[in-house]
Amino acid sequence: MEVLEAIYTRRSIRRYSEKPIEPDLVDKIIYAAMYAPSAVNKQPWHFIVFNDEPLRKAIMAFHKSAAMLETARQCVLICYDENLQHDEGFGVMDASAATQNLLLSAHALGLGACWIGIYPRQIRIEEMRKLFLLPENIVPFALVSLGYADETKSIPDRIKKERIHYGKW
């Protein structure tokens, strides 16, 4: 799949089939996330890959927008290290870029995925820290559910030319 096709056709997938994901695909997705740009190339990210059902249920218990974990075959928690980020606030941008790479690579490899927000909700951050025994300097940023899609979604027209400005506002 070409890059522009992946960008235009990627959708948030919230229902997954029972087909397991091949381990090498998960590795490829994580590696693609690690090729994201980061401020001063600090690469402050960490990834926790899991598929433990009790852990998924624990997350769904406090995160009301995480119902897609019920059928997810794999999950990836994207974190950043406050001690490795270029400066305060840059970890969020770096983790965002890594998350986007993860989503696009999953789609390009034939998987469905959905970005489940953790940051900046403090209660979600604290609950994830407890569940995953994260050190204080590690910030859980986003959770991505993965699996083979059990739903199809159309491609909306998102082009709003009135929001494109050339030269100045």
Phi, psi for 74 (deg, rounded to 5): -145, 155
Q: What stretches of the chain adopt beta strand conformation (E)?
A: 45-50, 74-81, 112-117, 138-147
Domain ranges for the chain, please list them: 3-152
pLDDT of residue 69: 98
Does the structure show a pLDDT above 90 at 1? no
CA distance 3 to 57: 34
Nearest CA-CA partner of 77 in 95, 54, 57, 97: 95
CA distance 62 to 22: 29
3-152: CATH topology? NADH Oxidase (3.40.109)
pLDDT for 156-166, tens place per residue? 999 999 999 99
pLDDT for 143-154, tens place per residue? 999 999 999 999
Contact between residue 80 and residue 135 where contact means Cβ atoms under 8 Å apart: no
> What average pLDDT does the segment 62-85 reach?
98
* pTM of this structure: 0.96
In total, the chain counts a number of residues equal to: 169
CA distance 50 to 48: 6
Distance of CA 86 to the CA centre of its chain: 21
Contact between residue 13 and residue 113 where contact means Cβ atoms under 8 Å apart: yes
